[in-house]
């Protein structure tokens, strides 16, 4: 199938490259000429494992990028909307969605054959049919259901493992205004054999995405609240608590041979310094705002956000307890991205933590395996020294503050073994075995 992907960010680029790898002919569109130029040279504008190889393999064959949306839409059978949907003021900002819908509509005015438009961006329930559809009808002068189909196909990829997730999805949710649209969407995803496919309405598809994200965010805030209580009560470590909670056979079922299935879901039931990224915070807030409009106050989800917004403070409080003053204290900051495997700094808990430590007069040396460039844009270079190597960041540190669960931080005990004096390790992700370090504390201890 010939596909145009509108928006070449995390979702658009990964989806476009992976669909090309699966055999479709894909043209990715972006308004940012720099992204288009780099993409066409085979240089991914984001860090994702496996992306560069697939991009280079498909470029100029089944994959290309352009700034010419009109041409891309006219040359394709299906257009996938993958523009940003930030949270702005007190609701979801559908500005990019509206703008791209206008452009698609204008292009479709010139097209005589049937076309399908599918929304992949995360949008609040109702958006596809109440915003995208009427705008395309207005600008194309054509009728949905006749000249074109409209669908909603939420994306569940996780940054850091986005290529793997896209190539081997756990489910494919297809929302469509009619059977013809759904049939085209099924044809697009036919190459993903054996994957559960859900045929539904656009509004239900939109709700599925928010419900998935809200559930995961709730699990994280729940775990963090329990972790904070463990700290407050004393003599309880949240890691011991959660390890035993995970052993509930409804969470980790026992196989007939006695082995356990350990679902990835349990990684969301662990305490840490909070969730970030471009999805959970904005999506939960957008759902709360949407609920409010529908006279459905979302008290639980409001607390999820509240707990999360306070969670980075736990790190500052731990340091305040351990040191008389933070002024002049030398800190190694390990990890800046909101999660491992990505250079995405959006809403990273590292941002409020580093800013607060800088305001308190701490001196910081930071190391993140891939997020340095993005971090410099947000945190600047005045209050923090960025290191090329993990061991450089540790030099002279009074305390090591671990903020992102990068695998390579697991070797911290080895790296610190011979250092004297021994810095205190403040584990914001509880990823290090506390028995392996002489001076260790963290969230939920």
* Least distance to ligand NAD, CB of residue 14, Å: 8
H helices then E strands: how many in the chain?
18, 16
Q: Which stretch binds ligand NAD (CB under 6 A): 4-12, 231-239, 400-408, 427-435?
A: 4-12
Sign of CA dihedral 411, 414, 417, 418: negative
How far apart, in whole angstroms, are the C-alpha atoms of residue 208 and residue 204? 6
Nearer to ligand NAD, 284 or 394 (CB): 284
- Evaluate whether 334 touches 404 at the Cβ level (below 8 Å): yes
Which of 155, 427 has the CB closer to ligand NAD? 155
Binding flag, residue 6, ligand NAD (CB under 6 A): yes
Q: Are 121 and 95 in contact (CB under 8 A)?
A: no
Residue 118 engages ligand NAD in binding (rule: CB under 6 A): no
What b-and-e string marks burial along 123-136, b requiring 16 or more CB atoms within 10 Å of the CB?
A: bbbebbbebbbebb
Residue placing its CB nearer to ligand NAD in the complex, 341 or 442: 341
The only residue of 54, 80, 83, 332 in contact with ligand NAD, by rule CB under 6 A: 83
Residue 18 is a catalytic residue: no
Rounded Cα distance between 239 and 396, Å, is 29
Q: Which of 80, 262, 252 is nearest to 155 (CA)?
A: 80
Minimum Å gap between C-beta 86 and ligand NAD is 8
State yes or no: residue 96 binds ligand NAD (CB under 6 A): yes
**Cα(316)–Cα(360) distance, rounded to whole angstroms?**
10
Q: Does 74 bind ligand NAD (CB under 6 A)?
A: no
Q: Check residue 9 for interaction with ligand NAD (CB under 6 A).
A: yes
Candidate segments 24-32, 125-133, 216-224, 404-412, binder of ligand NAD by CB under 6 A: 24-32
Which residue's CB is nearer to ligand NAD, number 346 or number 365? Answer: 346
The nearest distance, CB 2 to ligand NAD, in angstroms, is 17
Residue in 18, 230, 273, 279 annotated catalytic: 279
Q: Which of 4, 39, 66, 122 binds ligand NAD (CB under 6 A)?
A: 122
Q: Does 140 bind ligand NAD (CB under 6 A)?
A: no
Residues 6+ apart with CB under 8 A from 390: 334, 367, 408, 409, 411, 415
On the CB side of 342, how many CA atoms lie within 13 Å of its CA?
Answer: 20
Spatial distance between the Cα atoms of 156 and 264, rounded to a whole number of angstroms: 14
d(CA 244, CA 270): 11
Cite the active site residues: 279
> Which residues in this chain contact ligand NAD in the complex, by CB under 6 A?
6-12, 29-32, 35, 69, 82-85, 96, 99-100, 103, 121-122, 155, 157, 159, 278-279
């Amino acid at each position: 199938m010939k596909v145009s992907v509108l928006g070449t960010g995390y979702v658009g680029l990964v989806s476009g490259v992976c669909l090309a790898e699966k055999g479709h002919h894909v043209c990715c569109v972006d308004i940012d000429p720099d992204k288009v130029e780099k993409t066409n040279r085979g240089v991914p504008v984001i860090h994702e494992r496996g992306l560069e190889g697939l991009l280079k393999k498909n470029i100029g064959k089944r994959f290309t990028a352009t700034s010419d949306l009109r041409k891309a839409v006219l040359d394709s059978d299906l257009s996938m909307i993958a523009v940003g949907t930030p949270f702005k003021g007190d609701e979801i900002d559908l500005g990019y969605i509206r703008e791209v819908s206008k452009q698609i509509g204008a292009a479709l005015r010139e097209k005589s054959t049937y076309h399908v438009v599918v929304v992949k961006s995360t949008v609040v329930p109702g958006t596809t049919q109440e915003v995208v559809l009427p705008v395309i009808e207005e600008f194309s002068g054509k009728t949905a259901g006749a000249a074109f189909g409209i669908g909603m196909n939420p994306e569940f990829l996780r940054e850091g493992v986005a290529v793997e997730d896209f190539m081997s999805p756990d489910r494919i949710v297809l929302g469509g205004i009619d059977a013809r649209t759904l049939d085209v969407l099924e044809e697009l995803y036919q190459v993903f054999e054996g994957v559960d496919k859900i045929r539904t309405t656009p509004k239900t598809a939109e709700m599925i995405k928010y419900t998935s994200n809200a559930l995961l965010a709730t699990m994280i805030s729940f775990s963090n609240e329990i972790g904070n209580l463990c700290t407050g009560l004393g003599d309880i470590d949240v890691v011991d608590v959660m390890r035993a909670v995970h052993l509930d056979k409804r969470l980790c079922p026992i196989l007939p041979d006695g082995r356990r299935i350990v679902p990835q879901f349990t990684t969301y039931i662990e305490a840490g310094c909070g969730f970030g990224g471009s999805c959970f915070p904005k999506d939960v807030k957008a759902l709360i705002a949407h609920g409010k409009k529908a006279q459905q106050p979302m008290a639980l989800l409001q607390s999820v956000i509240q707990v999360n917004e306070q969670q980075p403070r736990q790190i500052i409080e731990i340091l305040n307890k351990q040191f008389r003053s933070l002024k002049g204290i030398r800190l190694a900051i390990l990890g800046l991205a909101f999660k491992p495997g990505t250079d995405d700094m959006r809403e990273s808990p590292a941002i409020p933590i580093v800013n607060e430590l800088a305001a308190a007069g701490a001196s910081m040396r930071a190391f993140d395996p891939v997020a340095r460039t993005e971090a410099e844009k947000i945190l600047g270079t005045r209050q923090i020294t960025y290191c090329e190597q993990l061991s450089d960041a540790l030099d002279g540190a009074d305390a090591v503050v671990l903020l992102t669960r990068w695998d390579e931080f697991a070797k911290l005990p080895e790296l610190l073994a011979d250092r004297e004096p021994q810095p205190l390790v403040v584990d914001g992700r509880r990823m290090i075995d506390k028995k392996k370090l002489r001076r260790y504390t963290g969230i939920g201890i």
